Structure 1
């Protein structure tokens, strides 16, 4: 899969993307609300290889996509089917060096449109750590609605955390 937004190319990962992706995930702040710890030099190749393998979206596989600005990977998008019919969940992370320029909204908004158009999904959702205010704002900017706030429902990184679920249907794209 490859598609374009106004300023970005969204495409499959290539082996030469390793260092750019490492920069995204070697950041404590970026990984603070994710399910995994920051990448290290010791595990970066193994972690990156999983992104390279995630090249198709099926009921059993996750799709990982590089968000490219000119020649640099500035973001990572992931999509996977949930157990509910025609429903996918999305995840995303972006380089802190490119924050505040609208790239995340552009990329995730483009992905959402592509999923409705080409994959005929019924519903798209995002499950967030409630402390991740930037991610909440991103979901709202692209037209997702806050549907649930669960209190201390998720054990992650040695603490109970709140979860927020955002969701949207094709009719929400307006």
Structure 2
């Protein structure tokens, strides 16, 4: 099922919206940081690399075919500041499988913003997106990320040990997931 959400998506404290060219400096503020890049496939990005990344994200607003992505800026309602981003990837249209992800500025961590944004994204995935199963993954050392997955009610399904070389060392990864019926049961 194709998904063309109505934007923006509003939560109590956040607005999730498509990226614009005006977001480059805000994205650069957190994507240039080594502590953000540590667990990402990217290295810390230059401003030019951020401009390219934002340009790519501008068009990533709908799901039609396998591999399509929705990547949204997470903006604070109170200040209109972009403090992070969330993503929903269509992994299999036939099997109705998706994957969620997030990147947040560490200066805003520990305040529930990522939980709020990820909850809205899972509502989108399991609601109008009609996904059957949604997964998320992270480096095992990224405790903030896997604890968020657990707060969302996702279950750890895999621990891949030394499964790939990542930034010059063996990577260990957790995979979490949940089913539509589990999410809807939590939300009702």
Task: Establish whether TM, by shorter chain, passes 0.5.
Answer: yes
Q: CA deviation at 1:135?
A: 0.2
After superposing on structure 2, the runs of 4+ consecutive aligned residues of structure 1 that deviate more than 4 Å are none
1:32 matched to 2:41 = no
1:14-52 CA deviation, whole Å, 9 max, x = no partner?
111111111121111011011111111342211221111
Aligned partner of 1:54 in structure 2 is 60
Shift of 1:57: 2.0
- Name the counterpart of 1:66: 73
Which residue is equivalent to 2:17?
11
Given that residues 57 and 63 in structure 1 are in contact (C-alpha distance below 8 angstroms), is that contact kept between their aligned partners in structure 2? yes
Report how far residue 165 of structure 1 moved: 0.5
Residue in 1 that maps onto 2:3 = none
User: What is the TM-score with the length of structure 2 in the denominator?
Assistant: 0.87
| Distance (whole Å) between structure 1 residues aligned to residue 116 and residue 102 of structure 2 | 12
Q: Verify the 8 A CA contact 1:154 1:163 in the aligned structure 2.
A: no
Say how many residue pairs are matched: 174
Secondary structure of 1:23's partner? helix
Measured against aligned partners, the alpha-carbon deviations of 1:60-98 in whole angstroms (never above 9, x if no partner) come to 421110111021111111111114711011111001111
Secondary structure of the 1:125 match is strand
Distance 1:158 1:53 in 2: 32
Measured on the aligned residues, the alpha-carbon RMSD in Å equals 1.3
Question: Unpaired runs of 5+ in structure 2?
Answer: 1-6
State the match for 2:119 in structure 1.
Answer: 109
> Is the contact made by 1:24 and 1:95 (CA closer than 8 Å) also made in structure 2?
yes
Q: Does 1:45 align with 2:32?
A: no
